[in-house]
Structure 1
Amino acid sequence: MIGPAGRRKGTGVRVVSLVPSLTEAVALTRPEVLVGATDWCTHPEGLDVARVGGSKYPDLDGVLALRPDLVLLNQEENRREDAEALVAAGVPVRVTFPRTVPEALTELGELVTALGATTEPDWLVAARRAWAALAEPTTSRRAVVPVWRRPWVVLGGETFAGDVLRRLGVANLYADHAERYPRPDLDELRGRGPELVVLPDEPYRFTADDGPEVFPGVPCALVSGRHLTWYGPCLAEAPAVLAAQLAHPLRAA
């Protein structure tokens, strides 16, 4: 965290979120404090707050105009220079960076406490229960997990999404890679001999056409990118949603 999550004298807490996961968390916990979010903050549906551009290139003047007491950031989604500019302008920021499901649940618990919630919201209680109830997988399918195409980018080591999949019985073939998001070419991906290819629909919107025809003979599972990568209220339903999608992969004819 850079700076405390404070409140300015004479005003209520005003929060701007530059992280879609956290926007949803705040909106479902203390909606009255949320005054701004990115253009990509799509949940909850019908969210009515000021929009301040994208996560990578937010409109900092627009953020400052909202007079926030706290801006929520993520080390991976947002740029350090934007965090530093906000701090230089006197705005406290809270930076998250979960790389495992337990880390995400811990950071979310700390966030709702910092926002003044006296008890954990129902969605966080449900998320804790859903992941605690998940049995340790007895077998794992060796998989590659592309997150972008042209060029190909895959999940590497120490990623939140990789931990989510591991808990669902999917072993990322690039989990030991030194880079968090390696860029192998297609021949290398095929050469790894995956038993499964996991294709999320965000950030790159993979479709059925990107699967079996590109990886012939390998089952390809199209999954919800939101449930794979977002750490927030959707964590409560992520195990069931992803397990169902992983259980029905596509195959080439």
Structure 2
Amino acid sequence: MPAARVVSLVPSLTEAVAVTVPGALVGATDWCSHPADLDGLGVARIGGTKNPDVAAVVALAPDLVIANEEENRLADLAALRGAGLEVLVTEVRGLDQAFAELSRVLAACGGPARPQWLADAEDAWSEPPRPGPRLRAAVPIWRRPWMVLGRDTFAADLLARLGVDNVYATHAERYPRVPLEELRAAGPDLVVLPDEPYRFTREDGPEAFPGLPAALVSGRHLTWYGPSLREAPEVLSAALSAAGR
């Protein structure tokens, strides 16, 4: 039976449910920023993705809690299950898996498995990459210490589909810590700097890679799997082009 009351612990899934089945969403994290009118929909805030208020979630009496194996902690998910709540945990390591997981989540929340925005996103990503030589990029996601995209990540899959390969795609870790000197020595053609989870800006990030083109990209379009996927190819391609892609 589809869930009538849903709590989301993942910002991108919050947006997907809110846009598709707005009446079902009763709780979301403090980091859930889309859609912009989320608070106006009467959605309760239940803490962060890494530190949700379990008691607050339980008090909302949801039929379903949606989470992600990477964004949420096992201990919190276990506590929610221990309180008798049903928890649906997604796993997203690439674009195709994201599309499949979105369909699964939306169907569980009482919505269509393939709403128009999801069909549009699939169509947008079906276009072949723009002709031209492939580039190699380092993709930091944090500094102090420096951390980058490693193996088997959703964001790296999106970039690869746009003709940009992750320098650390074969690293043993998914989000390794890499000293800045090693990042520079890896010989990337450019550095891709998203504005989340660390907020890289023109004044904070590019200066660490002198002489290297820097693409400042929208973290929502690079790392979120939801309605933003419709315009992500265009938005990301524009940012990469501005950096000389």
Q: If the TM-score is normalised by the length of the shorter chain, which range does it land in?
A: over 0.9
Match of 1:217 in 2: 211
Per-residue Cα deviation, 1:9-58 (whole angstroms, up to 9, x for no partner):
xxx71100010000000001111110000011000011021000100000
Equivalent position amino acid for 1:50 in 2: A
In 1, Cα distance between the equivalents of 2:81 and 2:108? 18
Equivalent position amino acid for 2:86 in 1: P
User: Given the superposition, is the C-alpha separation of residues 223 and 85 from structure 1 closer, same or farther in structure 2, using an over 3 Å criterion?
Assistant: same
What SS is found at the alignment partner of 1:72? Answer: strand
**1:203 and 2:192 matched:** no
In 1, Cα distance between the equivalents of 2:83 and 2:56? 13
**1:37 and 2:31 matched:** no
Equivalent position amino acid for 2:178 in 1: P
Indicate if the aligned counterparts of 2:7 and 2:27 stay in contact, CA closer than 8 A. Answer: yes
Match of 1:231 in 2: 225
User: Of 119, 128, 133, which residue of structure 2 is paired with 1:134?
Assistant: 128
**1:91 and 2:85 matched:** yes
What SS is found at the alignment partner of 2:203? Answer: helix
Indicate if the aligned counterparts of 1:222 and 1:245 stay in contact, CA closer than 8 A. Answer: yes
Indicate if the aligned counterparts of 1:38 and 1:54 stay in contact, CA closer than 8 A. Answer: yes
Match of 1:3 in 2: none
User: Of 148, 151, 156, which residue of structure 1 is paired with 2:145?
Assistant: 151
Per-residue Cα deviation, 1:119-155 (whole angstroms, up to 9, x for no partner):
6211111111111123476531111000000000000
In 1, Cα distance between the equivalents of 2:131 and 2:139? 18
Structure 1: give runs of 5+ residues left out of the alignment: 1-5
Indicate if the aligned counterparts of 2:9 and 2:49 stay in contact, CA closer than 8 A. Answer: yes
User: Of 102, 112, 121, which residue of structure 1 is paired with 2:106?
Assistant: 112
RMSD across aligned C-alpha pairs, in angstroms? 1.5
User: Given the superposition, is the C-alpha separation of residues 30 and 154 from structure 1 closer, same or farther in structure 2, using an over 3 Å criterion?
Assistant: same
Indicate if the aligned counterparts of 1:136 and 1:167 stay in contact, CA closer than 8 A. Answer: no
User: Of 71, 94, 118, which residue of structure 2 is paired with 1:77?
Assistant: 71
Equivalent position amino acid for 1:47 in 2: L
Equivalent position amino acid for 2:231 in 1: E
In 2, Cα distance between the equivalents of 1:119 and 1:231? 15
The two structures have a TM-score, normalised by structure 1, of 0.92
The two structures have a TM-score, normalised by structure 2, of 0.94
**1:58 and 2:52 matched:** yes
Query: In the TM superposition, what is the alpha-carbon distance from 1:118 to its structure 2 partner?
Result: 4.1
What SS is found at the alignment partner of 1:81? Answer: helix
Query: In the TM superposition, what is the alpha-carbon distance from 1:117 to its structure 2 partner?
Result: 2.2
Indicate if the aligned counterparts of 1:123 and 1:236 stay in contact, CA closer than 8 A. Answer: yes
Match of 1:102 in 2: 96
Structure 2: give runs of 5+ residues left out of the alignment: none
Percent of pairs identical after alignment? 61
In 2, Cα distance between the equivalents of 1:55 and 1:192? 33
